[in-house]
Chain A
Amino acid sequence: PRPLTDNNIAMPTKEEVYELIASNRYSSDILPQLEAYVGQQVSDVTNDLEANLATLKLYQLCPDLENKDIIAKILMKALMNLPYNDYMLCTHLITERIQSEERFASIAKISQLLETCQFKEFWEYCRANEAALGIKTLPGFEDALRKFVAAVINSTYQSCPTAYFCEAMNLDAAGCSKFLASNGWTEANGHIALPINDSNTAQAKKISETIQFDQMSRILSSIAS
């Protein structure tokens, strides 16, 4: 038997949620299931942009039913999906009336810090506003953001100062060693060697022109004659 949600309905599966969206997208009747699904994403540490956008759209068209807790959760989940810009897509559907509230202004602030890669300031702000942002109620938040930071650093550096890395990742020395060990990264002389990928090598890309067959076919007949 499936667990019950707060309003005593059976927790919907992903398939059921998508069925509801496909058949009843504009009906506020499906809100309880969509909201329950948001809660499930929080506890399962999964993310479903499409379903969450559908939820926000219903709030947009039906302001009486808007649930600010759910909206805040959706936005925080969106941030956990960086580098994808889910957060931006969500804000397009949330009126300024809501976004100007302090709670949402805080979330906007950390989005800003993340987008401009001010990671040290980001972690500081999170520490100072932990309760307001509800970070403790979001399993996997720190891990997800660390994953994002590591990816950006990996795409920019071939070797990066350890101290800088720890600051950006909000890791102490022990945590850092653990992270490096679990990812197979090595450290030497105060610098971390990062795996080489397409982004952190500056290869001279020569974008040469390829002529497609259907472009040529237009003139092949005249060349042949």
Chain B
Amino acid sequence: AFPEVSGSMQYADYYDEPETSGYDLPNFRMEGHLDLEGEPIDAEMDSFVVPDVVKTFFVGFATAVKEQNLQDIHFNYENNFNKLTERYYSKASWPPPEVVSPIVGDDKMFLLLYKELYYRHIYSKLQPTIDHRFESWENYCEVFNVFLDAPATGPLPLTLPNQWLWDMVDEFIYQFQSFCQFRAKIKARTEEEIRLLQEQDSFWNVYSVLNYLEALCKKANINTILDREKNGDIIAAKAEDGSFEFGSQPLFKMLGFFSLIGLLRMHCLLGDYYLALKAIEHVDLKNKSMFTCVTACYITTYYYLGFAYMMMRRYVDAIKVFSSVLLFIARTKQHHTRSYQFEQIIKKNDHMLTLLAACLSLCPYRIDEDVHSAIREKCSEKMTRMQNGDEVQFEEVFTHACPKFVVPVITAQEYQDGGIYGQEAYKLQLKSFMHEVRQQQLLPTIRSYLKLYTSIDIQKLATFLETDVPSLRNQLLCLKHKTLSLVWVDGPPLSGTLLPCSDIDFYLDKDMIHITDSKTERRFGEFFIRHISKFEEIISDVQRK
């Protein structure tokens, strides 16, 4: 069914990872060594012994949540939970909720939040069973319903750190991807599992996932809030109709915002890049304050934004987006070296670097010197191969750096045929990308010849290229057509103007081709300004001492 995809089974194997792999990107879940051969944990409730230090942790954590002590909650979430995981639960699941419940006085809200961590841990370190998947789904529904059902009279008496809110949405989508992959491998499923999957089709249903994200956005009225903030308005706690404006409570505002980014991601995973960009049309990309509170959010947003632009053949926009986030990572990574996310950030960085190299091979464009040297350092070989039209190299880059696309639905026929469908979504997107690559295959050679001349007869050029004049005429038209793209100028990410994006300009007058190379001045301004600022800082530091 995919004759155009070359024999790159090796890359397909890399893509087809076990369902619980933590390789999804960008996904900043708690990483660990996967116990791929591990038995699903089926802890006996009665015999589950909880160490005292863990009991104290639970009590402290639950108290912090109840008292809305944001700092303590954050500390427990980021530090204590991870430390105890390392010490006791690196290969076993945390105590099941039934065991924890009496320890925290049956605190329902805390237990919902704890279960989120409990299942997240299972996905990360162990192998979730189909029951775990269903239970985790139900828990997410309960947690989100607490938010969505919050009465219109006033704020919800709950506060959670932004990092947790982001991780929750991020994990929610990750588990959806994992479930789709699990379900799509019909061949590996037991009869009982297949029966459950077909019967219980409301669990991890793609509609429900999308609807929850949309609902969280709506509850926070996030698009209106973003628009008003862009105009400099302060968000009042009371909406026009007297009800509580949930977007004024940080919990809801950030949850709504992260859900918006979640939609950007979901639509990309389903191949709907247009809708992905439309989802974030109210986000002000120039104002970075919303994103940078959680680094993972910033990187995720720009990754999917850049990838969507690339798949829409808006290479100039993709190049600008990737360059921007790569610069950001380069400047801030020293702050993250001790965070558990550091490895992930570096991995994402490398993936985006290769995607950038691919875009530059298809659409030469001038980029920042720092980014350019990073490419030369890390993937100059790959880039050279792509610039020479090496299809296998393009495929490899795409496979390694693309999102883990999902097959959202399995048809009754597919259940019956019992095959493996997990890669269908990825193959479709790869095919489209490779179409573009192939359609542009002859263009780099023509470009390089044109750069050598200010004018050349079409017959002469045809002889150099070892082709005939009619074919060359078509290819010259193709070069013009392919270098005409939508470029973002202003406004929402989806908008754009059709502009010529070639680094060389040419036209034909009868049989003569006339060429001009566009000259870009070397940019010094940003470089000097940056160094002047740094120097200022050094001087003021020295003066203070």
Are A and B interaction partners? yes
Q: Which residues of A contact B (CB under 8 A)?
A: 26, 49-50, 53, 57, 60-64, 83-85, 88-89, 91-93, 95-97, 100, 112, 115-120, 152-153, 155-161, 164, 191, 198-209, 211, 215-216, 218-219, 222
Q: Answer yes or no: B477 CB below 8 A from chain A CBs.
A: yes
13 A-B interface contacts by CB (under 8 A): A60-B271, A62-B409, A88-B312, A88-B432, A88-B435, A89-B312, A92-B429, A95-B428, A158-B508, A159-B509, A161-B510, A209-B525, A218-B529
Contacting pair A218 B432 (CB below 8 A): no
Residues of A near B278 (CB, < 8 A) are 50
A3 to B308, CA, bound (A): 39
- Nearest B residue to A100, CB-CB: B1
Interface residues of B in 230-280 (CB under 8 A from A): 270-275, 278
Partner of B478, one of A117, A207, A219: A117
How many whole Å from A153's CB to the nearest CB in chain B? 7
A219 to B424, CA, bound (A): 53
Partner of B1, one of A49, A91, A96: A96
How many whole Å from B525's CB to the nearest CB in chain A? 4
A207 to B519, CA, bound (A): 6
Contacting pair A157 B524 (CB below 8 A): no
A88 to B474, CA, bound (A): 21
Q: Answer yes or no: B211 CB below 8 A from chain A CBs.
A: yes
Contacting pair B514 A115 (CB below 8 A): no
Q: A96-B1, A118-B474 are in contact. List 13 more A-B contacts (CB 8 A).
A: A60-B271, A61-B206, A63-B411, A92-B273, A96-B427, A119-B477, A156-B476, A158-B508, A202-B507, A204-B505, A204-B517, A215-B529, A219-B533
Interface residues of B in 504-534 (CB under 8 A from A): 505-510, 514-521, 523-526, 529, 532-533
Residues of A near B130 (CB, < 8 A) are none
Q: Which residues of B contact A (CB under 8 A)?
A: 1-2, 206-207, 210-211, 270-275, 278, 311-313, 366, 408-409, 411, 424, 427-429, 431-432, 435-436, 439, 470, 473-478, 480-482, 484, 486, 498, 500, 505-510, 514-521, 523-526, 529, 532-533, 536
Contacting pair A209 B523 (CB below 8 A): yes
Residues of A near B523 (CB, < 8 A) are 209
Contacting pair B521 A207 (CB below 8 A): yes
With contacts A60-B408, A117-B477 taken as known, whether A50 is within 8 angstroms of B520 at the C-beta atoms is no
How many A-B Cβ pairs are below 8 Å?
158
Contacting pair B516 A96 (CB below 8 A): no
Closest 5 CB pairs of A and B: A117-B477, A202-B516, A92-B271, A205-B518, A202-B505
Partner of A152, one of B411, B481, B505: B481
**Listed residue (A84, A97, A112) with the most chain B CB atoms within 10 angstroms of its CB:** A97
Contacting pair B478 A209 (CB below 8 A): no
Contacting pair A155 B408 (CB below 8 A): no
How many whole Å from A164's CB to the nearest CB in chain B? 7
With contacts A89-B273, A115-B439, A209-B523 taken as known, whether A202 is within 8 angstroms of B1 at the C-beta atoms is no
Partner of A85, one of B206, B312, B427, B478: B312
Contacting pair B272 A115 (CB below 8 A): no
Contacting pair B524 A209 (CB below 8 A): yes
A149 to B500, CA, bound (A): 16
Contacting pair B474 A119 (CB below 8 A): yes
Contacting pair B428 A96 (CB below 8 A): yes
- Nearest B residue to A97, CB-CB: B1
Contacting pair B476 A57 (CB below 8 A): no
How many whole Å from B434's CB to the nearest CB in chain A? 12
Partner of B514, one of A117, A202, A209: A202
With contacts A89-B312, A91-B432 taken as known, whether A215 is within 8 angstroms of B525 at the C-beta atoms is yes
Contacting pair A203 B533 (CB below 8 A): no
Partner of A57, one of B275, B313, B475, B482: B275
Partner of A158, one of B431, B432, B509: B509
Residues of A near B271 (CB, < 8 A) are 60, 92-93
Residues of B near A202 (CB, < 8 A) are 505-507, 514-516
Partner of B529, one of A61, A207, A219: A219
Residues of A near B524 (CB, < 8 A) are 209
A92 to B486, CA, bound (A): 18
A119 to B506, CA, bound (A): 20
Residues of B near A49 (CB, < 8 A) are 274
Contacting pair A96 B439 (CB below 8 A): no
A33 to B421, CA, bound (A): 32
With contacts A60-B408, A215-B529 taken as known, whether A155 is within 8 angstroms of B518 at the C-beta atoms is no
Residues of A near B515 (CB, < 8 A) are 202
How many whole Å from B221's CB to the nearest CB in chain A? 15
Contacting pair B274 A50 (CB below 8 A): yes
How many whole Å from B509's CB to the nearest CB in chain A? 5
A62 to B387, CA, bound (A): 40
A92 to B366, CA, bound (A): 29
Contacting pair B439 A116 (CB below 8 A): yes
Partner of A157, one of B274, B505, B507: B507
A57 to B210, CA, bound (A): 13
A215 to B210, CA, bound (A): 40
Residues of A near B536 (CB, < 8 A) are 219, 222
